[in-house]
Amino acid sequence: MAILINPKTNFLIQGITGKQGEQACQEMLAAGSKVVAGVTPGKGGLKVQDVPVYNSIKEAQEKHQINCSVIFVPPKLAKGAIVEAIEAGIPLINVITENIPFHDMAYCFSLAREKKALIIGATSAGIYSVGKAKCGPIGSGKAGIAFTPGPVGVISRSGGMSCETALVLTQAGLGQSTVVSIGSDILMGAAFAELVPLFEKDRETKGIVLFGEIGGTAEEDLAAYLLKRKEQGKPFKKPIVAFISGKVASTMPGVSLGHAGAIIQEGKGTREAKVKALKRAGVIIAEVHHEVGLLMKKALKQ
Protein backbone atom coordinates (compact mmCIF):
# COMPACT_ATOMS: atom_id res chain seq x y z
CA MET A 1 0.00 0.00 0.00
CA ALA A 2 2.67 2.54 1.05
CA ILE A 3 1.75 6.10 2.14
CA LEU A 4 1.22 9.48 0.46
CA ILE A 5 1.82 8.38 -3.15
CA ASN A 6 1.08 5.26 -5.19
CA PRO A 7 0.77 4.14 -8.85
CA LYS A 8 -2.58 5.95 -9.17
CA THR A 9 -1.21 9.35 -8.05
CA ASN A 10 -1.34 12.00 -10.78
CA PHE A 11 1.60 14.39 -10.43
CA LEU A 12 1.98 17.98 -11.57
CA ILE A 13 5.41 19.65 -11.59
CA GLN A 14 5.49 23.40 -11.01
CA GLY A 15 8.68 24.68 -12.60
CA ILE A 16 8.91 21.74 -15.01
CA THR A 17 10.77 23.75 -17.68
CA GLY A 18 13.73 24.45 -15.37
CA LYS A 19 16.77 22.18 -15.37
CA GLN A 20 15.96 20.53 -12.03
CA GLY A 21 12.27 20.23 -12.80
CA GLU A 22 12.92 18.54 -16.13
CA GLN A 23 15.47 16.15 -14.65
CA ALA A 24 13.08 15.18 -11.86
CA CYS A 25 10.32 14.68 -14.41
CA GLN A 26 12.52 12.27 -16.35
CA GLU A 27 13.43 10.33 -13.21
CA MET A 28 9.84 10.23 -11.96
CA LEU A 29 8.59 8.87 -15.27
CA ALA A 30 11.36 6.26 -15.30
CA ALA A 31 10.24 5.16 -11.83
CA GLY A 32 6.69 4.64 -13.07
CA SER A 33 5.12 7.85 -11.74
CA LYS A 34 2.19 9.36 -13.63
CA VAL A 35 3.40 12.90 -14.36
CA VAL A 36 0.35 14.25 -16.18
CA ALA A 37 1.18 17.96 -16.41
CA GLY A 38 3.64 20.72 -15.71
CA VAL A 39 3.16 24.42 -15.03
CA THR A 40 5.44 27.32 -15.94
CA PRO A 41 3.75 30.70 -16.52
CA GLY A 42 4.37 31.89 -20.07
CA LYS A 43 5.51 28.45 -21.29
CA GLY A 44 2.07 26.93 -21.89
CA GLY A 45 1.90 24.75 -24.98
CA LEU A 46 5.38 23.28 -24.62
CA LYS A 47 6.11 19.67 -23.75
CA VAL A 48 8.80 18.38 -21.38
CA GLN A 49 9.57 14.66 -21.62
CA ASP A 50 6.29 14.51 -23.58
CA VAL A 51 4.43 15.98 -20.57
CA PRO A 52 2.20 18.95 -21.51
CA VAL A 53 3.06 22.33 -19.96
CA TYR A 54 0.39 24.84 -18.92
CA ASN A 55 0.47 28.48 -17.85
CA SER A 56 -1.43 27.81 -14.63
CA ILE A 57 -2.75 25.01 -12.46
CA LYS A 58 -6.28 26.05 -13.37
CA GLU A 59 -5.51 25.37 -17.04
CA ALA A 60 -3.94 22.02 -16.18
CA GLN A 61 -6.94 20.98 -14.09
CA GLU A 62 -9.26 21.55 -17.04
CA LYS A 63 -7.68 18.50 -18.66
CA HIS A 64 -6.16 16.50 -15.81
CA GLN A 65 -7.02 15.30 -12.33
CA ILE A 66 -4.09 16.18 -10.07
CA ASN A 67 -3.35 14.60 -6.67
CA CYS A 68 0.13 15.94 -5.95
CA SER A 69 2.14 19.00 -6.96
CA VAL A 70 5.94 19.04 -6.86
CA ILE A 71 7.46 22.51 -6.46
CA PHE A 72 10.67 23.39 -8.34
CA VAL A 73 10.12 27.16 -8.35
CA PRO A 74 12.86 29.69 -7.35
CA PRO A 75 12.72 30.79 -3.67
CA LYS A 76 11.28 34.27 -4.23
CA LEU A 77 8.48 32.87 -6.40
CA ALA A 78 7.81 29.72 -4.39
CA LYS A 79 5.15 31.25 -2.14
CA GLY A 80 2.98 32.11 -5.13
CA ALA A 81 3.37 28.61 -6.56
CA ILE A 82 2.53 26.90 -3.26
CA VAL A 83 -0.49 29.16 -2.67
CA GLU A 84 -1.70 28.44 -6.20
CA ALA A 85 -1.52 24.70 -5.52
CA ILE A 86 -3.31 25.01 -2.18
CA GLU A 87 -6.07 27.21 -3.60
CA ALA A 88 -6.51 24.74 -6.46
CA GLY A 89 -7.41 22.05 -3.93
CA ILE A 90 -4.39 19.82 -4.52
CA PRO A 91 -4.20 17.62 -1.39
CA LEU A 92 -0.45 16.88 -1.36
CA ILE A 93 2.27 19.44 -2.09
CA ASN A 94 5.94 18.43 -2.08
CA VAL A 95 8.18 21.51 -1.87
CA ILE A 96 11.69 20.81 -3.16
CA THR A 97 12.83 24.45 -3.28
CA GLU A 98 15.42 25.59 -0.72
CA ASN A 99 15.94 29.02 0.88
CA ILE A 100 12.30 30.11 0.77
CA PRO A 101 11.80 33.15 3.07
CA PHE A 102 10.63 32.10 6.54
CA HIS A 103 7.51 34.28 6.54
CA ASP A 104 6.51 33.00 3.10
CA MET A 105 6.48 29.42 4.36
CA ALA A 106 4.70 30.42 7.56
CA TYR A 107 1.90 31.88 5.44
CA CYS A 108 1.77 28.77 3.24
CA PHE A 109 1.55 26.42 6.24
CA SER A 110 -1.25 28.49 7.76
CA LEU A 111 -3.20 28.43 4.49
CA ALA A 112 -2.55 24.70 4.05
CA ARG A 113 -4.02 23.97 7.50
CA GLU A 114 -7.07 26.04 6.64
CA LYS A 115 -7.58 24.30 3.28
CA LYS A 116 -6.59 20.83 4.62
CA ALA A 117 -3.63 20.40 2.26
CA LEU A 118 -0.55 18.43 3.33
CA ILE A 119 2.84 20.01 2.65
CA ILE A 120 6.05 17.96 2.66
CA GLY A 121 9.03 20.34 2.81
CA ALA A 122 10.36 22.82 2.06
CA THR A 123 13.91 21.63 1.23
CA SER A 124 12.52 18.13 0.70
CA ALA A 125 14.33 15.71 -1.61
CA GLY A 126 11.02 14.04 -2.38
CA ILE A 127 8.95 10.96 -1.61
CA TYR A 128 9.48 7.42 -2.89
CA SER A 129 6.94 4.63 -2.53
CA VAL A 130 9.42 2.05 -3.69
CA GLY A 131 8.43 0.14 -6.79
CA LYS A 132 5.23 2.17 -7.07
CA ALA A 133 5.83 5.91 -7.55
CA LYS A 134 8.53 8.53 -7.03
CA CYS A 135 8.04 12.22 -6.35
CA GLY A 136 10.93 14.66 -6.74
CA PRO A 137 14.66 13.94 -7.14
CA ILE A 138 15.00 11.58 -4.15
CA GLY A 139 17.76 9.06 -4.78
CA SER A 140 18.44 10.54 -8.21
CA GLY A 141 20.70 8.19 -10.18
CA LYS A 142 21.24 5.91 -7.16
CA ALA A 143 17.57 5.05 -6.70
CA GLY A 144 17.94 1.65 -8.35
CA ILE A 145 20.85 0.75 -6.06
CA ALA A 146 19.70 2.07 -2.69
CA PHE A 147 15.97 1.38 -2.71
CA THR A 148 14.20 -1.98 -2.69
CA PRO A 149 10.50 -2.70 -2.03
CA GLY A 150 9.76 -3.96 1.45
CA PRO A 151 8.21 -3.46 4.89
CA VAL A 152 10.13 -0.52 6.42
CA GLY A 153 8.99 3.08 6.27
CA VAL A 154 11.65 5.80 6.38
CA ILE A 155 11.33 9.46 7.42
CA SER A 156 14.42 11.64 7.12
CA ARG A 157 15.23 15.27 7.83
CA SER A 158 18.21 14.98 5.47
CA GLY A 159 17.62 14.55 1.76
CA GLY A 160 20.89 12.78 1.07
CA MET A 161 20.60 10.57 4.13
CA SER A 162 17.14 9.39 3.11
CA CYS A 163 18.90 7.57 0.28
CA GLU A 164 21.74 6.37 2.52
CA THR A 165 19.27 5.10 5.11
CA ALA A 166 17.43 3.13 2.43
CA LEU A 167 20.77 1.68 1.29
CA VAL A 168 21.65 0.57 4.84
CA LEU A 169 18.27 -1.16 5.11
CA THR A 170 18.68 -2.78 1.69
CA GLN A 171 22.11 -4.09 2.70
CA ALA A 172 20.51 -5.59 5.81
CA GLY A 173 17.95 -7.37 3.64
CA LEU A 174 15.10 -5.00 4.45
CA GLY A 175 13.22 -3.20 1.71
CA GLN A 176 11.27 0.01 2.10
CA SER A 177 7.56 0.81 1.75
CA THR A 178 7.76 4.61 1.48
CA VAL A 179 10.76 6.90 2.05
CA VAL A 180 9.90 10.52 2.92
CA SER A 181 12.37 13.40 2.97
CA ILE A 182 10.64 15.98 5.18
CA GLY A 183 13.19 18.78 4.80
CA SER A 184 15.63 20.36 7.17
CA ASP A 185 14.19 23.78 8.03
CA ILE A 186 13.04 24.67 11.55
CA LEU A 187 9.63 25.50 10.10
CA MET A 188 8.51 22.47 8.13
CA GLY A 189 5.36 20.82 6.90
CA ALA A 190 4.43 17.29 7.92
CA ALA A 191 7.13 15.87 10.21
CA PHE A 192 7.66 12.71 12.26
CA ALA A 193 4.59 13.11 14.48
CA GLU A 194 2.31 13.59 11.46
CA LEU A 195 3.75 10.83 9.27
CA VAL A 196 4.31 8.02 11.79
CA PRO A 197 0.51 7.55 12.23
CA LEU A 198 0.18 7.13 8.45
CA PHE A 199 2.75 4.33 8.52
CA GLU A 200 0.86 2.79 11.45
CA LYS A 201 -2.26 2.48 9.28
CA ASP A 202 -0.33 1.06 6.32
CA ARG A 203 -0.57 -2.74 6.34
CA GLU A 204 2.56 -3.03 4.19
CA THR A 205 4.74 -1.19 6.71
CA LYS A 206 5.96 -3.31 9.64
CA GLY A 207 8.54 -0.92 11.11
CA ILE A 208 9.78 2.67 10.80
CA VAL A 209 13.28 4.15 10.66
CA LEU A 210 13.90 7.83 11.40
CA PHE A 211 16.91 9.97 10.51
CA GLY A 212 16.88 12.97 12.83
CA GLU A 213 19.16 15.94 13.33
CA ILE A 214 20.04 18.52 15.96
CA GLY A 215 17.89 21.63 16.05
CA GLY A 216 14.15 22.11 16.04
CA THR A 217 11.72 19.92 18.00
CA ALA A 218 10.45 17.41 15.42
CA GLU A 219 11.93 14.47 17.30
CA GLU A 220 10.70 15.71 20.69
CA ASP A 221 7.23 16.26 19.20
CA LEU A 222 7.15 12.63 18.08
CA ALA A 223 8.25 11.47 21.54
CA ALA A 224 5.43 13.50 23.12
CA TYR A 225 2.93 11.94 20.69
CA LEU A 226 4.11 8.40 21.47
CA LEU A 227 4.01 9.01 25.23
CA LYS A 228 0.50 10.42 24.97
CA ARG A 229 -0.56 7.26 23.14
CA LYS A 230 0.85 5.16 25.99
CA GLU A 231 -1.01 7.22 28.59
CA GLN A 232 -4.24 6.74 26.63
CA GLY A 233 -3.75 2.98 26.63
CA LYS A 234 -3.14 2.94 22.87
CA PRO A 235 0.62 2.28 22.60
CA PHE A 236 2.28 2.43 19.20
CA LYS A 237 2.98 -1.20 18.32
CA LYS A 238 5.23 -1.04 15.26
CA PRO A 239 8.96 -0.81 16.09
CA ILE A 240 10.65 2.54 15.50
CA VAL A 241 14.42 2.84 15.13
CA ALA A 242 16.00 6.30 15.09
CA PHE A 243 19.44 7.69 14.39
CA ILE A 244 20.03 11.28 15.50
CA SER A 245 23.05 12.94 13.88
CA GLY A 246 25.11 15.67 15.52
CA LYS A 247 26.99 13.76 18.22
CA VAL A 248 30.03 16.06 17.92
CA ALA A 249 27.98 19.28 17.94
CA SER A 250 28.24 19.67 21.71
CA THR A 251 32.04 19.81 21.41
CA MET A 252 31.86 22.82 19.08
CA PRO A 253 29.66 25.46 20.73
CA GLY A 254 28.94 28.47 18.56
CA VAL A 255 29.85 26.68 15.33
CA SER A 256 27.23 26.68 12.56
CA LEU A 257 26.45 23.13 11.49
CA GLY A 258 24.45 21.76 8.59
CA HIS A 259 20.96 22.89 7.74
CA ALA A 260 18.88 25.90 8.65
CA GLY A 261 17.09 23.70 11.17
CA ALA A 262 20.28 22.87 13.06
CA ILE A 263 19.79 25.64 15.61
CA ILE A 264 19.86 24.89 19.34
CA GLN A 265 18.17 27.35 21.66
CA GLU A 266 17.89 27.37 25.46
CA GLY A 267 19.01 23.75 25.73
CA LYS A 268 16.33 22.54 23.31
CA GLY A 269 17.12 20.73 20.10
CA THR A 270 20.32 19.05 21.29
CA ARG A 271 21.07 15.49 20.29
CA GLU A 272 21.11 14.49 23.95
CA ALA A 273 17.62 15.92 24.54
CA LYS A 274 16.22 14.20 21.47
CA VAL A 275 17.74 10.82 22.29
CA LYS A 276 16.52 10.99 25.89
CA ALA A 277 12.96 11.89 24.83
CA LEU A 278 12.78 9.20 22.14
CA LYS A 279 14.18 6.48 24.43
CA ARG A 280 11.62 7.39 27.07
CA ALA A 281 8.92 6.99 24.43
CA GLY A 282 10.12 3.51 23.51
CA VAL A 283 12.06 4.31 20.33
CA ILE A 284 15.16 2.19 19.64
CA ILE A 285 18.22 4.43 19.22
CA ALA A 286 21.09 3.62 16.85
CA GLU A 287 24.37 5.13 18.05
CA VAL A 288 25.88 4.90 14.56
CA HIS A 289 23.95 5.19 11.33
CA HIS A 290 24.86 1.82 9.84
CA GLU A 291 23.22 0.07 12.83
CA VAL A 292 19.67 1.01 11.81
CA GLY A 293 19.26 -1.96 9.49
CA LEU A 294 20.39 -4.60 11.98
CA LEU A 295 18.43 -3.01 14.83
CA MET A 296 15.25 -2.98 12.74
CA LYS A 297 15.83 -6.55 11.61
CA LYS A 298 16.15 -7.63 15.25
CA ALA A 299 13.06 -5.64 16.27
CA LEU A 300 10.92 -7.19 13.54
CA LYS A 301 11.81 -10.69 14.72
CA GLN A 302 10.61 -10.02 18.28
Provide the pLDDT for residue 141: 75
pLDDT band for position 179 (50/70/90)? very high
pLDDT for the residue numbered 142: 76
Residues 99 and 155 in one domain: no
In a domain, 132, yes or no: no
The residue range of the domain holding 61 is: 1-125
Q: Is residue 177 part of a domain?
A: yes
Min mean pLDDT across 15-19, 266-270, 283-287 is at 266-270
List the one residue out of 73, 182, 212 whose CA is nearest residue 120.
Answer: 182
> Do 153 and 282 belong to one domain?
yes
Question: Are 239 and 294 members of one domain?
Answer: yes
Please check whether residues 89 and 189 belong to one and the same domain: no
Residue 263 has pLDDT above 80, yes or no: no
Share of the chain above pLDDT 70, in %: 93
Whether residue 131 is contained in a domain is answered as no
Q: Is the pLDDT of residue 256 over 60?
A: no
- For residues 262 and 191, the model is more confident at 191
Same domain, 296 and 170: yes
> According to the model, what pLDDT value does residue 267 have?
63
Does residue 153 lie in a domain region? yes
Q: Which of 96, 125, 154 is the last residue of a domain?
A: 125
> What average pLDDT does this structure show over 242-263?
67
Contacts of 220 (CB under 8 A, 6+ apart): 268, 273, 274, 277
When the pLDDT of each residue in the chain is averaged and rounded to a whole number, the result is 95
Same domain, 1 and 40: yes
Q: Where are the alpha helices (DSSP H) in 210-254?
A: 218-231
Query: Domain for residue 265, yes or no?
Result: yes
Please check whether residue 52 lies inside any domain of the structure.
Answer: yes
Name the pLDDT band for 259 (thresholds 50, 70, 90).
low
Q: Is 64 a catalytic residue?
A: no
Mean pLDDT of the 97-112 span? 98
Residue 281 has pLDDT above 80, yes or no: yes
Instruction: Report pLDDT for 285.
Output: 99
CATH number at residue 89: 3.40.50.720
Assess whether 291 and 149 both reside in one domain. yes
The closest alpha carbon to 4, from 123, 170, 179, 174, belongs to 179
Question: For a pLDDT cut of 90, what percent of the chain falls above it?
Answer: 89
Residues 113, 221 within the same domain: no
Instruction: Give exposure, 144-177, as e/b (b: 16+ Cβ within 10 Å).
Output: eebbbebbbbbbbbbbebbbbbbbbbbebebebb
Query: When comparing pLDDT for 197 and 186, which is higher?
Result: 197
- Residue 144, pLDDT score: 83
Residues 223, 274, 276, 225, Cα dihedral to 10°: -10
- Do 88 and 143 fall within a single domain? no
Average pLDDT for residues 70-96, to the nearest whole number? 99
pLDDT value for 143: 79
CATH of the domain at 301: 3.40.50.261
Residues 171 and 115 in one domain: no
Peptide bond into 122 cis (omega under 30): yes
195, pLDDT greater than 90 = yes
Question: pTM score, two decimals?
Answer: 0.95
pLDDT at residue 264 above 80? Answer: no
Residue 171 has pLDDT above 60, yes or no: yes
Given the residues 64, 103, 259, 289, select the one marked as catalytic. 259
For the segment 123-165, what is each residue's pLDDT rounded down to a tens digit? 999 999 999 999 999 998 777 899 999 999 999 999 999 999 9
- Count of domains observed in the chain: 2
- Let me know if residue 149 belongs to a domain: yes
At 251 the pLDDT is 52
Residues 155 and 270 in one domain: yes
Residues 249, 149 within the same domain: yes
Give the per-residue pLDDT at 254.
Answer: 61
300 belongs to a structural domain: yes
Last residue of a domain, one of 125, 151, 181: 125
Q: What was the pLDDT predicted at 153? A: 99
Residue that is last in its domain, among 79, 95, 125 = 125
